[in-house]
Amino acid sequence: MIILGIETSCDETAAAVVKDGHVLLSNVVATSLAQHIQYGGVVPEIAARSHIESIIPVIEQALTDADCGWDDIDAIAVTYGPGLIGSLLIGVMTARTLAIAKNKPLYAINHVEAHVYAPFITDTKLENFELPRTQPEFPALALIVSGGHTQLAVFKGHGDYRIIGETHDDAIGEAFDKVAKIVGLPYPGGPSVERCAKDGDKDAIKLPLARLENSYDFSYSGLKTAVLRSAQKLVGKDFTLPSHELPDLLNDQQKADLSASFQDKAFEMLVEPLLQATHEYNPKSLIVGGGVSASSTLREKLKNVIPAPIFTDLKLCTDNAGMIAACAFYNQKAYLADPSSLSPNPSLTL
Ligand code: KG4
Ligand code: ZN
């Protein structure tokens, strides 16, 4: 079965073709990132406009790369939430139109759940992909760490999952993006903080690690504020100094130390809940997905404390449509949608 996946929840316009839920035939991603950088974050209107321009060429490229015509495509899968409403609308409307015009079944996919399905893709002829050799096994523990989500879930089977922990405030990727702004590093914050942290000392600045009542939960807003306060102190000012003045006052070493200390605590926050959940649920696999799982520092850290966590290729960690098509394949009955009425749901939850 060959599924065309479509993903437009944030600033990436993506289309991919996946065969039988595990063979990636094509993976095309266009991003409007460059247009957002000057604003330090994604501007929804710019993202939506860019999706309109890119969506058809991206889908055509995905079909060409996969060497597929419309006759070869058995179904279409699209992200319908969560995400930015203007962005989601373009993907959903395009998928609905194509499903009707080409007479294909349509699957409505939850973006966050789809991140868990990226490591189910184990095969491709495309160049430069490092994929897991075998698929995750159930029961699986899934840690989703992205710009919008930080969640820990137990998957008993496909579509059969329960959230056991989540963030009380900021998502981890969001905290990276905000700390990058405080320190004066470009968006997206994850990769730029990681780069800057390489020259810093993770023990240079004392930052707190939040302890929560439910030991599987996370919190990042206090840590982010502690970075702000430490930065103000480092430059000899008090809490009234506006954060936008910090990048000019901090020197390179201070920026590197702040980045390293923050990054260390942000990842440390994930370790305890993971260890405890591994102990309690005894999973056969631990899947780590979402944009932040592209961090090599996080990969190293988790590999050192947890037996065999499953990561996938960096290109399938950040937003892509391969994971959307894979998720659809394994949940066909549950996510079948009506192409004449499917609506995006920006605040869809797991
Ligand atoms: O999954 P994703 O592409 O989009 C959402 O669904 O949110 O995740 C984006 C997040 C951003 O916050 C970005 O800073 C972070 O993933 N990110 C990284 C890396 N690449 C992207 N964080 C750490 N290290 C990376 N290499
Ligand atoms: Zn994502």
Query: Is 319 a pocket residue for ligand 1 (Cβ < 6 Å)?
Result: yes
On the question of pLDDT at 261 being above 90, the answer is yes
- How far, in Å, from the CA of 247 to the mean position of ligand 1? 22
Atom from ligand 1 closest to the CA of residue 171: 12
Residue nearest to atom 16 of ligand 1 (CA): 291
d(CA 274, CA 91): 34
Of 37-46, 154-163, 334-343, the least confident: 37-46
Task: For residue 331, count other CB atoms closer than 10 A to its CB.
Answer: 21
Tell me the average pLDDT of the chain: 97
Ligand number with the minimum distance to the CA of 113: 2
pLDDT at res. 40 = 83
Q: Are 173 and 189 in contact (CB under 8 A)?
A: yes
β partners of residue 77: 5, 107
- CA nearest 110: which of 286, 324, 292? 324
Bond into 188 cis (ω within 30): yes
Q: Are strands 285-289 and 309-310 parallel, antiparallel or unpaired?
A: parallel
- Strand blocks (E) in 264-308: 285-289
pLDDT average, residue stretch 73-94: 98
Q: In this predicted model, what pLDDT tens digit does every residue of 145-187 receive, in sequence order?
A: 999 999 999 999 999 999 999 999 999 999 999 999 999 999 9
On the question of pLDDT at 23 being above 90, the answer is yes
d(CA 207, CA 219): 13
Bond into 139 cis (ω within 30): yes
Helix (H, G, I), strand (E, B) or coil at 131: coil
d(CA 49, CA 316): 24
What are the b/e assignments for 275-299, b being 16+ CB within 10 Å?
eebbeeeebebbbbbbbbbbbebbb
- How far, in Å, from the CA of 55 to the mean position of ligand 1? 22
pLDDT at res. 182 = 97
Ligand number with the minimum distance to the CA of 311: 1
Ligand number with the minimum distance to the CA of 298: 1
- How far, in Å, from the CA of 49 to the mean position of ligand 1? 22
pLDDT at res. 207 = 97
d(CA 345, CA 89): 9
pLDDT at res. 38 = 86
What are the b/e assignments for 145-168, b being 16+ CB within 10 Å?
bbbbbbbbbbbeebeebeebbbbb
Query: Is 289 a pocket residue for ligand 1 (Cβ < 6 Å)?
Result: no
- How far, in Å, from the CA of 317 to the mean position of ligand 2? 8
On the question of pLDDT at 142 being above 90, the answer is yes
Neighbours of ion ligand 2 (CB under 5 A): 146, 319
Residue the block writes with tokens 């160049």: 127
pLDDT at res. 127 = 96
Q: Token digits for 44?
A: 């929804």
Atom from ligand 1 closest to the CA of residue 174: 12
pLDDT at res. 307 = 84
CB within 8 Å of 164: residues ≥ 6 apart: 152, 153, 154, 216, 277, 281
Q: What is the pTM of this model?
A: 0.96
pLDDT average, residue stretch 276-284: 96
- How far, in Å, from the CA of 113 to the mean position of ligand 2? 9
d(CA 57, CA 64): 10
